[in-house]
Amino acid sequence: MPFWSGIVLTVMAVILLLGSFKREEWQALPPFFPLADSWKRVLMAFLAMVAYLFLLESLGFTLVTFFFIAFLLKTIFPQKWKRTLIAASTTAILARLIFINFLETQLPLGFLGF
């Protein structure tokens, strides 16, 4: 089954590719990103998630959540420092209370132990 689905997929991809060569609307295609700085936001969001994944074990849930939210708030649609810090710390504390204390999810606590 993997073999045959691979073959079928390849054949369809070739059809699609040939079809797009035949079309003559190259210029009509809209730009990939709707705004000039869109790519930065997309990249930052993905980077933040990857960083979250790598730092979760060592820093612990509460701390890494704080940094994650603060980073996103500050970089994607930049907020004022005061608002960023308040929102990030509220989210981190609430998330900790909900997930670890209320739902008893086994999330890593990190080297500081919280």
Query: Hey, what amino acid is at 111?
Result: F
Those residues whose C-beta lies under 8 Å from the C-beta of residue 45, and which sit 6 or more positions away, are 72, 76
At closest approach, how far in Å is the CB of 112 from other proteins?
19
In angstroms, the CA 33 to CA 55 distance is: 30
Query: Hey, what amino acid is at 110?
Result: G
In angstroms, the CA 79 to CA 70 distance is: 9
In angstroms, the CA 12 to CA 82 distance is: 53
At closest approach, how far in Å is the CB of 57 from other proteins?
8
Q: Contacting other proteins (CB under 8 A), which of 13, 93, 97, 111? A: 13
Q: Contacting other proteins (CB under 8 A), which of 55, 76, 85, 109? A: 76
Residues of this chain that bind other proteins (CB under 8 A): 1-2, 5-6, 8-9, 12-13, 15-16, 19, 32-35, 38, 41-42, 45-46, 48-50, 52-53, 56-57, 61, 65, 68-69, 72-73, 76-77, 79, 87, 91, 95, 99, 103-107
